[in-house]
Amino acid sequence: MFDPSTQEFGDLCVEELTLGPSPGEVTPKHAWALVQQGKAVLVDVRTAEERKFIGFVPKSLHVAWATGISMVRNADFVRDLEAKVKKTDVVLLLCRSGKRSALAAQVAAEAGFTHVYNVLEGFEGDLDENSHRGNFEGWRFRGLPWVQE
Digit-coded pLDDT (tens) for 59-98:
999 999 999 888 899 999 999 999 999 999 999 999 999 9
- Number of domains within the chain: 1
Within-domain flag for 134: no
Within-domain flag for 26: yes
122, 101 in Cβ contact below 8 A? yes
Full domain range(s) for residue 104: 7-119
Within-domain flag for 39: yes
pLDDT < 50 stretches in the chain: 1-9, 12-15
| pLDDT for position 69 | 82
| pLDDT for position 2 | 40
Within-domain flag for 137: no
CA torsion sign for 124, 44, 66, 98 is negative
H helices of the chain, in order, are: 28-36, 48-54, 77-84, 99-110
DSSP annotation of 62 reads: E
Alpha carbon 128 to its chain's center:
21
| pLDDT for position 10 | 52
- CATH number of domain containing 79: 3.40.250.10
Give the predicted TM-score (pTM) of the model.
Answer: 0.87
Within-domain flag for 94: yes
15: left (phi over 0), alpha (psi -120 to 50) or beta: alpha
| pLDDT for position 149 | 83
Within-domain flag for 138: no
